[in-house]
Amino acid sequence: MPEPFKKSVVREYFESIVIAVILALFIRTFVVQAFKIPTGSMENNLLIGDHLLVNKFVFGPSASGVERALLPIGTINRGDIVVFKYPEEPERDFIKRVIGLPGETVELREKKVSIDGSVLDEPYVHFLEGPGDASGFHEVISSDLRERYGPVTVPPNQYFVMGDNRDNSQDSRYWGFLPREYIKGKALLIYWSYDDDSFTRTRWSRLLRVIH
């Protein structure tokens, strides 16, 4: 009776390495992505030097039809912080907060955002200079998009996104609506954060902070 086939140690190691690489590539492509905050457009919620994990599974990646067939497409809600391909330079990734959903009318007056005529409550917003009269809108003649914008209606399958640091954010006010297929995932948590590009200046209090 022939002896059962036995794999060599080298082959077993090789197969284990191949499987590990495939799993790592799958996770990187379909499930999670690392992202570093490069600018202050999301301050004070997200800081320069924050390193994030982005959940790509929740919305489903959009690079190809195969990916869309394999993974579910979740619902994008107002307030979600998303990483996406910058429409004017798709090879670059941006991060902003979803403000306007498809079919909604977005308007900005005195730095206050309204959706379909109702002013949003935005406790996460940071201003370099505060908004005007908090009692309501009044007519202001201004060409500054930080003060006044719209009204505009968000087209189907597109979104209006803005940075939390409203006076220092290149967002939908300047380059338009964000197509659904450009959204890569939802920011999940901060896994590491450091100050001034120094490994010795880790912001320990920010580690593992869930992003809202």
Among candidate residues 41, 169, 172, 193, the one labeled active-site is 41
41 is annotated as an active-site residue:
yes
Say how far apart CA 187 and CA 209 lie, in whole Å: 11
Through-space distance between the first and last CA atoms of the chain, rounded to whole angstroms = 65
| Pair 182, 87: CB distance under 8 Å | yes
**Tokens describing residue 11:** 């082959």
Q: 160 φ, ψ to 5°?
A: -105, 120
Instruction: Single out the catalytic residue among 56, 62, 85, 96.
Output: 96
Question: CA torsion sign, 199 to 203 to 208 to 212?
Answer: negative
Q: How far is 178 from 154, CA to CA, in rounded Å?
A: 9
Helix (H) or strand (E) holding 54: strand 50-55
Catalytic residues, by residue number, are 41, 96
